[in-house]
């Protein structure tokens, strides 16, 4: 699922700024970060590492499964 969930967001936008592929955006109503373009997550964990409150959970699979030549 790549980036899976954001729980306990304080709305600091660190993850939004740190994502190289623009996966996370600020919800204008709740003022909290939400996963909008999950399919573009490259599973680099920068969002998780920059998050000051450890709110982000990431799993190692892509949201669309990858078929590889050795699979």
Nearest in space to 19 (alpha carbons), one of 5, 11, 40: 40
Among residues 21, 27, 31, 34, the one that binds other proteins under rule CB under 8 A? 21
| CA pair distance 14, 30, nearest whole angstrom | 16
| CA pair distance 27, 42, nearest whole angstrom | 22
CB of 1 to other proteins, least distance (A): 11
Among residues 10, 20, 31, 34, the one that binds other proteins under rule CB under 8 A? 20
Binding residues vs other proteins (CB under 8 A): 17-22, 36-37, 39-40, 42-46, 48-50, 54, 56-58, 60-62, 66, 68-70
């Amino acid at each position: 699922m790549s980036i899976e969930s954001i729980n306990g967001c304080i709305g600091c936008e660190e993850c939004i700024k740190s994502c190289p592929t623009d996966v996370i955006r600020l919800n204008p109503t709740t003022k909290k970060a939400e996963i909008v373009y999950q399919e573009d997550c490259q599973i680099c964990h920068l969002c998780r590492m920059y998050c000051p409150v450890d709110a982000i959970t990431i799993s190692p699979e892509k949201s669309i499964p990858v078929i590889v030549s050795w699979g």
